[in-house]
Chain A
Amino acid sequence: MIGIIDYGAGNLKSVQNALTRLHAPHMLCGTKTDFEHCDRLILPGVGAFADCMKQLEQRDLIDAIKQAINNKVPFLGICLGMQVLFESSDEMEECEGLGIFKGHIRRMEDPNVKIPHIGWNDLCFTHSDPLFAGLHQPYVYYVHSYRATAYEESDLIAYSTYGDLKVPGAFHKDHIWACQFHPEKSGEDGITMLKNFLAFEVSL
């Protein structure tokens, strides 16, 4: 059972639709006890960093997430769900994240391109990764104004270029993946990535 973490915001429907398309059983996880039924987790997200952390805290989900990650439950963060896996963000106010990945979320600055960054970019792989199995030069859909900085180079598995900016596209460490882009809105290539995430088996 795949748990989609529900913290009261964000567009969960498109992730649900993508999992339905892949015939993968899924449920919304809004409470700590919901997590017990899930052997794989997705943290989607649209909105602001601080709101998301506040909501997770109010619903008592922060420990549940950390515990699941400690228990080697395969985990995928999408967009804001990726960003909160980092140490901190300065969106609106300095705010601590979950600190699963090393690095900080900072506003993108490039006078020559429009921010927010909206639309399709090609994705350059820095490592071959099980998430990208069967894919050749995919294009992915981004909507964001902030990006990860000061991350571990070894965690980065793909990036895109926007103006002069290097936009970190996806990270992978152990059984944890995180994408800045929206695989659930990136056409058939995105569906393939979700399928690959579902196929990943943790070797204990």
Chain B
Amino acid sequence: MHTKRIIPCLDVKDGKVVKGVNFVGLKEVGDPVELAYEYYRQGADELVFLDITATHEARDTISELCEQVAAKIFIPFTVGGGIRTIDDIKRILRSGADKVSLNSAAIRNPELISEGAKIFGSQCIVVAIDAKQRETKDGWNVVINGGRIDTGIDVLEWVKKIQELGAGEILLTSMDQDGRKQGFDLPLLSAVNQISDIPVIASGGCGSLAHFYEVFAENAADAALAASLFHYGELSVGEVKDYLTYRGIPVRKKTMPQDLSALFSQLDFAKQNGLIPTIVQDHESKEVLMLAYSNKESLQITWKKGLACYYSRSRNELWLKGETSGHYQAIHEIRLDCDRDTLLFSVTQTTAACHTDAYSCFYQLLYQQGDQ
């Protein structure tokens, strides 16, 4: 199964990530290497670094950055911004990047695409296209310099041309949607994707989980790129992947948290005084068995033993389910709800969940439709 890719993008200036960063546990906020590693850990499929360093002298910092990133993360990464010559491409690839992204330089000098593809292979030449809808609404033009200059070139014509020249992938940003968080530009992306034989990476406008789903469900792109959504910690890559999996879009499975602190950092303990309501469900039949409460200590035991442990509110103590009754619950999955304050344990129940020996605690019928 071929999967859809999720690609965080980092804007880098003088070796620092420019956009605000809001991650728990990062050593140095704004350090692109730390941030890249965090995304790697979350299950990012690729990374894009966009160098927005203004001066030419400071460009060596991006090469140093590439070397550090390549030593630490083992997924492909692309570097874009300010790449104008074959020597620039060589320098970036030699320092460990897998791909370069060409934008306005490719417009000014299309041979950069064909030369680059010939020397280094199409697989490492990504052409970034910034697109803006024409005022006549009959299509899109390629714009450069952050949308300030309209080249007058039709996006679809340019897409055909760069494929002939040997581009390996297209990074397509909608300047109409960028920063608006209203969703990817589906008409633009669909139009491009339909005529493209090379992968299309959607960029610009993503503001929610549903937007990731839309762009893939509409078959408008092969990969989706987002920046601030991830930087500000609104969503993690893992959360996006869980959501897409749940809605039937194939993605590479995220790496499971290796330790409890990673799990704890995702939970909202404050809302209910350190307690997290925990719904318990039969892994096979999906029958709801009971509701209990977890706290940090009980989760530590659950994690360590692979058996459900809770906090008993009536006895004010930790309660390893089954310790006295023998009715243990072996953990299959632990899920977290959308606002991070409720857990779902999917378990194999020994004998019965309820102290009355009923399989489920919910054996009492209070209401049934049409049965009054």
Q: A residues within 8 Å of B by Cβ?
A: 11, 13-14, 17-18, 20-21, 46-48, 113-122, 137, 139, 141, 143, 160-163, 184-188, 190-191
Contacts and interface: CB of A to CB of B under 8 A. Distances in A.
B74 A13 contact: no
B76 A11 contact: no
A118 B197 CA distance: 11
A120 B252 contact: yes
25 contacts: A13-B70, A13-B95, A14-B70, A14-B74, A46-B123, A48-B121, A114-B196, A116-B168, A117-B2, A118-B169, A119-B2, A119-B5, A119-B222, A119-B223, A122-B3, A122-B252, A139-B3, A141-B75, A143-B123, A160-B2, A184-B74, A185-B76, A187-B74, A188-B74, A190-B74
The secondary-structure label for the interface of chain B is loop
Nearest to A51: B121
B121 A46 contact: yes
Contact of A13 (B2, B96, B222): B96
Contacts of B253: 137, 139
A21 B71 contact: yes
A76 to B, nearest CB: 16
Interface residues of B, number: 31
Given A21-B71, A116-B168, A13 B94 contact: yes
B136 to A, nearest CB: 31
Contacts of B40: 187
A120 B1 CA distance: 8
B252 A14 contact: no
Nearest to B251: A120
B71 A11 contact: no
The secondary-structure label for the interface of chain A is mixed
A132 B197 CA distance: 33
For B5, B40, B74, B169, the residue with the greatest tally of chain A CB atoms inside 10 Å of its CB is: B74
Contact of A119 (B45, B70, B74, B196): B45
B61 to A, nearest CB: 18
B198 interface: yes
Given A17-B71, A121-B2, A185-B76, 6 more contacts: A13-B70, A14-B70, A17-B96, A114-B222, A116-B168, A160-B2
